[in-house]
Amino acid sequence: MDSKPSSSEVSFEFPTLFRIYNDGRTERLKGTETVPPSTDPTTGVQSKDIVLSPQSGLSARVFLPRLPDPTRKLPLLIFIHGGAFVIESPYSPLYHNHVSLLASEANVVALSVHYRRAPEHPLPVAFEDSWDAVQWAAAHSNRSGPEAWLNDHVDFDRVFIGGDSAGATLTHHVVRHAGLDGLSGTRIVGMILFHPFFMNDEPGKLLEVIYPTCGGSDDPRVWPGKDPKLGGDWVREGVGFCG
């Protein structure tokens, strides 16, 4: 009798979010619905999808609010979505509507980043993708980048980066990265963290699945309390919010 586990058996389940099967398949239980880019009939916010890196597949949805004065430059919000690093995307109704509303109410150009997700792309891939997206946006500060909405309408002295849950963790990482290593032509003036996914004890099963190379509780990307440079001079001025 063959005692091997069936490929249809579940090897790991995060209730209500996703399942991983023995054959490596991932079944996402929510956050899979998508909506196309559009022009909001109420607010006038336009959106479109763009590819940031054909090599990796890194992409984003960019939002442009109504422009009473097309010559006026607007702040840029780089938004990084949550979902345990596994579910959701900028194209889901939840995040499309959320970022579109932010663009309208705050009067900002918004770039909603679609990083590669675990477990197919285990961490630290999402950290690397998020930093690549920030660098891609910053490259438009000379007004000759590949995306006209950023070239024509963004004030790169007023850049905000924010996210929720896993996206807040990624936000913390990229702002720290920019503060320590610099970001040419761009000034980050605000960081917004909604319920960041930070660890304060030993890693659990979820982290073992999404970040198998983490190697314990000393990685400052998920344990910022272990970061020897936390509290240093990497955020010199600006506004931070954590909720």
Report the chain's terminal Cα–Cα distance, integer Å.
Answer: 54
Confidence of residue 70 (pLDDT cuts 50, 70, 90): very high
Q: Is 113:76 a contact under the CB 8 Å cutoff?
A: no
Same domain as 39, residue 20: no
SS (H, E, C) 37-72: CCECCCCCCEEEEEEEECCCCEEEEEEECCCCCCCC
Same domain as 38, residue 143: yes
Which structural domain range is residue 17 located in?
1-30
175-178: long-range contacts (C-beta < 8 A, 24 or more apart)? Answer: 175/235, 176/227, 176/229, 176/234, 177/131, 177/134, 178/134
Beta strands in the chain, from DSSP E residues, in sequence order: 10-14, 18-21, 26-28, 46-53, 58-64, 74-80, 109-114, 154-164, 188-194, 239-242
Same domain as 59, residue 16: no
Summarised one tens digit per residue, pLDDT across range 93-122 is 999 999 999 999 999 999 999 999 999 999
- Give the CA distances from residue 52 to residues 1, 22, 84, 109, 158, in Å, rounded to whole numbers and listed in that order: 51, 33, 23, 16, 21
Percent above pLDDT 90 for the chain? 75
Percent above pLDDT 70 for the chain? 88
Same domain as 46, residue 2: no
Give me the pLDDT at residue 197, please: 82
Same domain as 137, residue 110: yes
Can you say how many angstroms the Cα of residue 107 is from the centroid of all Cα atoms in its chain? 20
Summarised one tens digit per residue, pLDDT across range 145-186 is 999 999 999 999 999 999 999 999 999 999 999 988 999 999
Q: Where are the alpha helices (DSSP H) in 20-145?
A: 93-106, 125-138
Give me the pLDDT at residue 198, please: 77
Residue whose pair of structure tokens reads 């079944």 in the numeric block: 27
Q: What is the CATH number of the domain that holds 132?
A: 3.40.50.1820
Same domain as 2, residue 79: no
Same domain as 173, residue 212: yes
Half-sphere exposure of 38 (CA within 13 A, CB side): 12
Same domain as 56, residue 4: no
Q: In terms of Cα–Cα distance, which of 144, 26, 157 is closest to 85?
A: 26
Same domain as 21, residue 81: no
Residue 142 per-residue DSSP state: G
Same domain as 113, residue 145: yes
Same domain as 76, residue 192: yes
Number of domains in the chain: 2
Indicate if the pLDDT at residue 234 is higher than 50.
no
Encoded amino acid at 154, one letter: V
Same domain as 204, residue 87: yes
Give me the pLDDT at residue 6, please: 63
Encoded amino acid at 55, one letter: Q
In this prediction, residues 57-62 reach a mean pLDDT of 99
